[in-house]
Structure 1
Amino acid sequence: MTDDVESLLDQVPVLAGPRTVVDLPGGLTNRNVRVTTSTGDYVVRLTQSDAGLLGIDRDAEHANTRSAAEAGVGAQVVDYRPDLGMLVITFLPGGALTNETICGPGVIARAADAIRRLQAGPRFVNDFDMFTRQAGYLALVRQHGFALPDEYDAFAPQWDRVRRALAARPAVTVPCNNDLLAGNYIDDGEQVWLIDYEYSGNNDPAFELGNTATECDLAREQIDELVAAWAGEDPDPALRARVDAQSLCSEYGWALWGFIQSATSPLDFDFHGWGMERFEKAARRFTSDGFEVLLDRVAEPSPVELVEASDE
């Protein structure tokens, strides 16, 4: 462990004194370390990216992490030190999921339950909309001259059609993590927990499902299982189509995050390849024979969405 990290930990009373410190894997905008002391087991998230460039609001992340804990789906916040670029949370026992283990027996059902519990919890302090986020990222890419696939702008008309289709039946927004790659699910065998609230905000609940589906490379039958577990019944065509549309939104929007990171991050990671993987997924959806059918189905009434709206 480097001296600079140790000196930062020394400044937080709960972490001071004899301790063991171990780096945790993952984390492309944070360095995450596990700190064990005589008083507890903690995870320390240390900022290591340009949060402003990526649209990360650390104060909102802190507040929403607290709300997720209150909902019973996230770690407890122990300390927040924005002056040190540090958030301290309790360590959650269990293992981070992978694209393989999320498909294990009962895991998708536990993941869907975690999403529902988060969405039923206290509202977050901010909102998240991928169309707004994509527009901001694209403006930033153009402002700085960051590299972008030549074909990216060619799909602007299709992107606008997806926006209009979803807006025709606006969802009641709920707390969402918005970044549910497999590693942000922690499974202890009894329940699944959700971590990493950098991009959290109140959003269309279908985005959480669509984001999970594409980030975890779920097959169609596994997406059906996820949506059915979340809805408590077999998904109706409109809801199922909305999840697919939000998968596309996740792919096309978050691809820009990869291209921005490719141009700015000091980490030895293939951010361009990460962005291209998502962009190519979106391109296949935009050009598929089912794109028109998808837009039509998104506009159909969905009983599940109406129930959600009436509860609000």
Structure 2
Amino acid sequence: MDGAEEAREFHSSEILSSSLTVSTSLSVHDMKPRIVELCKDLFKKWSKLDDSCFFVETVSGGITNLLLKVSVKEENHEDVSVIVRLYGPNTEYVINRERELLAIKYLSAAGFGAKLLGVFENGTVQAFITARTLTPLDMRNPKLAAEIAKQLQKFHQVEIPCSKEPQLWNDIHKFFDKASSLEFDDSEKQKVNETISFKDAQDEIAELKELTGLLNSPVVFSHNDLLSGNIMVNDEEEKLYLIDFEYGSYNYRGYDIGNHFAEYAGYDCDYSLLPNKDEQYHFFRHYLQPGRPHEVPDRDLEKLYLEANMYVLAAHLYWAFWALIQAKMSPIDFDYLGYFFMRYNEYKRQKEKCFSMAQSYFSCSSSA
């Protein structure tokens, strides 16, 4: 293969594919031979390299997927790196992989995320981004918050050729149906599960769906999982990246923003860290009018403030029932059952305040 052909492997719009599978039950050390085999299968320019030219390390051991950085010393002695993302076991219960791969293609073309280089049976290979992952506290930084808002506004303008129906309530109902029929093999977990009133939860879903329906939040292609771990920044170049679109779908603008705000709390669910009204308005100004943030009318800020905070409630329900399914299905060492209660209890704590704010807004709007 000549140099031009080699370059085309990384810069072509064609997405390479392999039928190989990499078991996530292996340690990273034991996984390496399979990862090397996968890379050689996908990228023909690496097929004759000695296995010692490949170095594999963990980038992230998140609560859904495993990310591995593969660094390759090529024959010209240059180092090239890619990211291999292994889907977590049983994640097909909560993620539509077909929709994700379609979205990546168009979002990548629009300049979002890492370029998709290849797919295999239980994961993807993407270009390596030289940047650091944000922490929840980073998202409070006014400069970074403004840039996230601008990037999200651009993200919401990308057209993806799939169903334009907002998926929020479809997904919540799907998660609820699965969660409410679960039985745990672990007797302690089952005992805790039996304390949940699914009838009450079903009523909460119906009530919130009805009230948020009055908001008429615009429907856009949404990220739906904009936590700190899915935002990267290159501090030297001051370039920010939104990554990982596995939960992406058409959805309500207010939900994508509200879900992002809820993620200020991190996995520890410290909800004292949620952005206050001034911080939210700062975000809204840069989202609604990136070029002229201080010219955003007050009524637009008030409307988006209500949207975002009502949909924070929906985010709590979404991730609560998601967590119950993961508590049963995922082998990852994370207290998903505890996470359910943290999200569901926060929903109940914030419900009255948010519902009261919505009713006050609607009564003022109708009398105006």
The answer, yes or no, to whether TM exceeds 0.5 is yes
Give distance in 2, aligned partners of 1:70 and 1:225: 29
Residue 236 of structure 1: CA displacement? 2.8
Counterpart check, 1:272 vs 2:337: yes
Counterpart check, 1:34 vs 2:74: no
Residue 167 of structure 1: CA displacement? 2.1
Q: Which residue of 1 aligns with 2:89?
A: 49
Deviations 1:130-169 (A, max 9, x none): 2211111111122223526525642543432321223235
Residue 62 of structure 1: CA displacement? 1.5
Counterpart check, 1:76 vs 2:115: yes
Amino acid at match of 1:78: L
Match of 2:169 among 107, 131, 135: 131
CA-based RMSD of the aligned residues comes to 2.4
- Secondary structure of the residue aligned to 1:216 is helix
Q: Which residue of 2 aligns with 1:11?
A: 38
Give distance in 1, aligned partners of 2:67 and 2:134: 17
Q: Which residue of 1 aligns with 2:227?
A: 181
Give distance in 2, aligned partners of 1:138 and 1:257: 8
Distance 1:105 1:226, change over 3 A: closer
Larger Rg: 2
Give distance in 1, aligned partners of 2:111 and 2:319: 27
Counterpart check, 1:219 vs 2:262: no
Contact in 2 for aligned 1:70/1:121 (Cα 8 Å): no
Distance 1:300 1:140, change over 3 A: farther
Contact in 2 for aligned 1:209/1:226 (Cα 8 Å): no
Distance 1:182 1:152, change over 3 A: farther
Give distance in 2, aligned partners of 1:29 and 1:119: 24
Aligned residues: 297
Counterpart check, 1:294 vs 2:326: no
Give distance in 1, aligned partners of 2:339 and 2:353: 26
Deviations 1:107-149 (A, max 9, x none): 1011111211211123253555222111111111222235265
Deviates more, 1:121-130 or 1:181-190: 121-130
Match of 2:317 among 233, 252, 257: 252
Give distance in 1, aligned partners of 2:153 and 2:216: 19
Give distance in 1, aligned partners of 2:82 and 2:210: 44
Contact in 1 for aligned 2:106/2:160 (Cα 8 Å): yes
Q: Which residue of 2 aligns with 1:144?
A: 182
Give distance in 1, aligned partners of 2:255 and 2:36: 36
Q: Which residue of 2 aligns with 1:304?
A: none
Give distance in 2, aligned partners of 1:31 and 1:182: 16
Mind listing any 5+ residue stretches in structure 2 that lack a counterpart?
Answer: 1-27, 185-192, 266-273, 290-295
Q: Which residue of 2 aligns with 1:281?
A: 346
Deviates more, 1:104-113 or 1:169-178: 169-178
Counterpart check, 1:112 vs 2:149: yes
Deviates more, 1:149-158 or 1:104-113: 149-158
Deviates more, 1:230-239 or 1:205-214: 230-239
Give distance in 2, aligned partners of 1:300 and 1:72: 41
Give distance in 1, aligned partners of 2:178 and 2:131: 38
TM-score, normalised on structure 1? 0.86
- Secondary structure of the residue aligned to 2:344 is helix
Q: Which residue of 1 aligns with 2:29?
A: 2
Give distance in 2, aligned partners of 1:206 and 1:180: 13
Residue 212 of structure 1: CA displacement? 0.5
Give distance in 2, aligned partners of 1:123 and 1:298: 33
Distance 1:265 1:175, change over 3 A: same
Give distance in 1, aligned partners of 2:194 and 2:245: 27
Q: Percent identity?
A: 20
Q: Which residue of 2 aligns with 1:65?
A: 104
Q: Which residue of 2 aligns with 1:305?
A: none
Give distance in 1, aligned partners of 2:34 and 2:100: 24
Contact in 2 for aligned 1:241/1:298 (Cα 8 Å): no
TM-score, normalised on structure 2? 0.74
Contact in 1 for aligned 2:215/2:307 (Cα 8 Å): no
Deviates more, 1:122-131 or 1:256-265: 122-131
Deviates more, 1:245-254 or 1:63-72: 63-72
Give distance in 1, aligned partners of 2:103 and 2:118: 14
Residue 290 of structure 1: CA displacement? 4.4
Contact in 1 for aligned 2:223/2:247 (Cα 8 Å): yes
4+ aligned runs moved over 6 Å, structure 1? 298-301
Deviations 1:19-42 (A, max 9, x none): 221101242221110112237321
Contact in 2 for aligned 1:124/1:175 (Cα 8 Å): no
